[in-house]
Every structure is written in C-alpha cells, then in structure tokens.
C-alpha cells in the first residue's frame, strides 16, 4: 500500500533513533560476547597452553630478576585490571595473526617491550576511540544514514591501522640504521681480528664502546650464546631479527668459516669489501634517481616562478601599449 513505509526507510528511521550511548553499549556487549565465545570454542589443548607459556617466558625473559617487593592495594588492583585487559586482548587475537605480529615486533626490536596482546589491544583501542569520535561527529551532522555508517566504518578502520603504520615506520627506520652501521662494524671487526683478537673478543670490545640497533642485536646474540644457545642458532636468530639480506649473508659467512675452519680475518675482509661495494652501488642507484625525482619540484615550484619573472613584465608592457 502507498501509506506503508519501505524497508529501507524503516531501517533509516531506526538508525536515526539510535543514540551514540546505545552504540557504545552495544559495542561493549558484542566485544564481551566475542571474548567469551572464543574462550569457550577454541580448543585449549595441553600443547597449545605449553607453547603459549613458553612464548610468554621468552618475551618476558629476565636472567637476573630480583624478587618483587610487596605492592600496595592500588597497584594490585591496577595490575589485575591490566591482566584482565591483556586476557581479553589475547582472547580476541586471531591465531593466524599471532606469528605475523610476533615477526613484525621482532623486526621492530620491540619484542621485549610489547607483547602480541598489547599490540592487538592497541589496535582495538585505536579503532574504538576513532569509532566513538566518528559517532559524536556524525550525531549532530546533516548526513544520510548510509554516509554516517560509512564514516564510522572508515574512521574505525583508520584508528585500528594507526599502530600498524607506526610499527612499519619503526621497522623501516631501524633497518636503515642497521644498514648504515653495518659497514663500520665490519671494518672494526676485520681490523680487530687481524690485530690478533678472536671474533668473540673483538665483538665484545665493539659492543662495549658503540651504540645502535645493530650493536644491540650483537649484544643480544652474545647473551644468548652465554646462556647456552648454539652459536649458529644465535647468529641465525640475529639475522631473522634484523630482516636484512646483508646481515643474513654476513652471519652465513661467519657460520661457514667456523664450520670449515677457514681464516676469520680473510672472511671478515671479504665481507667488509662486499658490504662496502653493495653500499656504493646502492648510493649510485639513489643518485641516478635524483634527476627523475627533481622534475616534480621544478614543474610545481620553480618553473611557475621563472615564468612570472620573465613573462609578466612583457605582458604588462604589451597590455599598456595596446
């Protein structure tokens, strides 16, 4: 009939009547239900619990941890609330995303500072905050219901992706620092080994006097070796944490030199020459890209100014004489 409302109009009228407080309450209820469902449905096998406990111990490893002092009630309550949030974030984290997040945290050098649950919880928190901001923004705006839903959806995705963008930026900055520091460390290692020091002694001298992300990884590799980890395993783990081909080639050459018994000084010299040559080629490639990249500033900023300076006086003179 003509007086009956269409289904689309009914849905729009229903969405317009919902306030942002009701949206917040509904989101909280859905999050709690999802956490309960995942905790009940997912298989809690003994192997999985054991693997999660080992991952937690590896992330929070402290070889000489002091016994904690008794905490007051406020700190205990804060710790309980933090544990509850961590448990909720862990329950909501998909199993397939956990190794990916762990790998990205290792590449960023934040595996000891951030856990998988904390990173995923920060993504959820960013999405919720942006979602609430979008709800407040579109509440008083003259937007259609479809536009409101799209704005809330897009801003929620943007808030959830902000920690991911920050993590990727951290990884890129850290890898650039490692690439910049690697040739210098290799030269110092080569000179120290040729002067009579062993590889471990030379690396200890360098790590004691230098700073940087690559030095931190070398120091962590030495700590792993002192704790009983096999040398080649510690070196391969270091190459995986750096995520660079140059570091991987360097660690592979050191492992092969120790296994075959070749001269460590010659191996380090060859690696230093190769890394220096690769660095020189990279700089040349970046220099070849400069003429192409400079075209856009020329067209956008320099050419218009030149045209104004050269053509405007002539045009004014012609207009005046005409």
Per-residue pLDDT, 172: 92
Tokens 């000891």 identify what position? 112
The answer as to whether 318 is a domain residue is: no
Angle, helices 97-108 vs 116-139, to 10°: value is 100
Tens-digit pLDDT profile for residues 108-153: 888 888 888 888 888 888 888 888 888 887 777 677 777 778 888 8
Asked whether the predicted pLDDT for residue 1 surpasses 60, the reply is: no
Residue 313 CA to its chain's centroid (Å): 54
Tens-digit pLDDT profile for residues 194-220: 888 888 899 999 999 889 899 999 999
CB-based burial label for 107 (10 Å; 0-12, 13-18, 19+): buried
Asked whether the predicted pLDDT for residue 69 surpasses 50, the reply is: no
Per-residue pLDDT, 169: 92
Which residue, of 140, 173, 206, is where some domain finishes? 173
Same domain, 112 and 240: no
The answer as to whether 311 is a domain residue is: no
Whole-angstrom distance, CA of residue 113 vs CA of residue 60: 8
pTM: 0.64
Same domain, 169 and 180: no
Q: Do residues 272 and 183 touch, judged by C-beta distance below 8 A?
A: yes
Asked whether the predicted pLDDT for residue 59 surpasses 80, the reply is: no
Which residue, of 173, 206, 238, is where some domain finishes? 173
Which residue, of 113, 138, 173, is where some domain finishes? 173
Least-confidence region, from 68-82, 126-140, 284-298: 68-82
SS3 84: helix
Same domain, 21 and 117: yes
- If pLDDT is split at 50, 70 and 90, which confidence band does 15 have? low
Residue 225's nearest CA partner among 194, 258, 196 is: 258
The answer as to whether 94 is a domain residue is: yes
* Between residues 51 and 158, the one the model is more confident about: 158
Same domain, 152 and 212: no
Asked whether the predicted pLDDT for residue 75 surpasses 70, the reply is: no
Tens-digit pLDDT profile for residues 150-196: 888 888 888 888 989 999 999 999 999 998 888 889 889 999 998 88
Range of the domain at 260: 175-289
Whole-angstrom distance, CA of residue 320 vs CA of residue 314: 10
Tokens 């096998």 identify what position? 45
Q: What is the CA radius of gyration of the chain?
A: 29
The answer as to whether 82 is a domain residue is: no
Same domain, 204 and 169: no
End-to-end CA distance of the chain: 73
Per-residue pLDDT, 215: 92
Whole-angstrom distance, CA of residue 159 vs CA of residue 135: 13
Tokens describing residue 72: 């007051």
Same domain, 142 and 25: yes
Q: Do residues 120 and 92 touch, judged by C-beta distance below 8 A?
A: yes
Across 148-172, b (16+ Cβ under 10 Å) vs e yields: beebbeebbeebbeebeeebeebbe
- If pLDDT is split at 50, 70 and 90, which confidence band does 42 have? very low
* Between residues 141 and 44, the one the model is more confident about: 141
Residue 114: CB atoms within 10 A of its CB come to 17
DSSP symbols for 172-197: HHHHHHHHHHHHHHHHHHHHHHHTT-
CB-based burial label for 98 (10 Å; 0-12, 13-18, 19+): middle
- For residue 283, the domain's CATH number is 1.20.81
The answer as to whether 299 is a domain residue is: no
Same domain, 182 and 264: yes
Same domain, 139 and 247: no
Asked whether the predicted pLDDT for residue 12 surpasses 70, the reply is: no
* Mean pLDDT over the full length of the chain: 77
* Between residues 148 and 45, the one the model is more confident about: 148
* Between residues 49 and 193, the one the model is more confident about: 193
Same domain, 113 and 207: no
CA dist list (Å): 241 to 14, 62, 218, 233? 52, 19, 11, 12
Per-residue pLDDT, 173: 92
Residue 121's nearest CA partner among 93, 94, 157, 80 is: 93
Q: Which stretches of 42-144 are DSSP H helices? A: 46-59, 73-92, 97-108, 116-139
Our count of domains for the chain comes to 2
Same domain, 161 and 241: no
The answer as to whether 204 is a domain residue is: yes
Tokens 């949206």 identify what position? 23
Same domain, 187 and 247: yes
Tens-digit pLDDT profile for residues 234-269: 999 998 889 888 889 889 988 988 888 888 888 888
* Between residues 310 and 71, the one the model is more confident about: 310
* Average of per-residue pLDDT across 68-90: 54
Tokens describing residue 209: 């006097």
Same domain, 13 and 124: yes
The answer as to whether 73 is a domain residue is: no
The answer as to whether 34 is a domain residue is: yes
């Amino acid at each position: 009939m003509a007086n009956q409302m269409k289904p689309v109009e009914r849905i729009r009228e229903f969405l317009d009547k919902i306030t942002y407080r009701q949206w917040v309450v509904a989101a909280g209820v859905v999050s709690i239900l999802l956490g309960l469902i995942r905790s009940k449905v997912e298989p809690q096998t003994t192997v999985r619990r054991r693997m999660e406990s080992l991952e937690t111990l590896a992330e929070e490893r402290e070889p000489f941890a002091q016994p904690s002092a008794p905490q007051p009630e406020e700190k205990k309550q804060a710790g309980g609330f933090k544990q509850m949030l961590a448990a909720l974030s862990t329950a909501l984290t998909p199993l397939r995303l956990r190794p990916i997040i762990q790998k990205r945290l290792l590449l960023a050098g934040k595996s000891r500072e951030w856990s998988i649950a904390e990173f995923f919880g920060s993504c959820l928190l960013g999405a919720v905050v942006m979602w609430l901001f979008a709800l407040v923004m579109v509440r008083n705006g003259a937007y259609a219901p479809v536009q409101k839903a799209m704005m809330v959806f897009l801003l929620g995705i943007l808030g959830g992706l902000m920690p991911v963008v920050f993590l990727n930026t951290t990884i890129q900055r850290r890898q650039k620092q490692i690439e910049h520091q690697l040739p210098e460390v290799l030269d110092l290692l080569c000179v120290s080994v040729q002067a009579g020091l062993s590889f471990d002694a030379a690396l200890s001298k360098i790590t004691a006097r230098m700073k940087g992300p690559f030095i931190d990884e070398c120091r962590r590799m030495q700590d792993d070796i002192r704790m009983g980890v096999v040398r080649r395993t510690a070196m391969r783990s270091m190459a995986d944490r750096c995520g660079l081909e140059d570091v991987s080639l360097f660690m592979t050459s050191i492992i092969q030199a120790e296994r075959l018994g070749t001269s460590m000084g010659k191996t380090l010299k060859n690696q230093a020459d190769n890394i220096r040559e690769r660095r020189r080629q990279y700089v040349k490639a970046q220099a070849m890209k400069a003429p192409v990249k400079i075209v856009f500033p020329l067209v956008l900023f320099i050419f218009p100014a030149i045209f104004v300076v050269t053509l405007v006086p002539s045009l004014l003179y012609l207009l005046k004489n005409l």
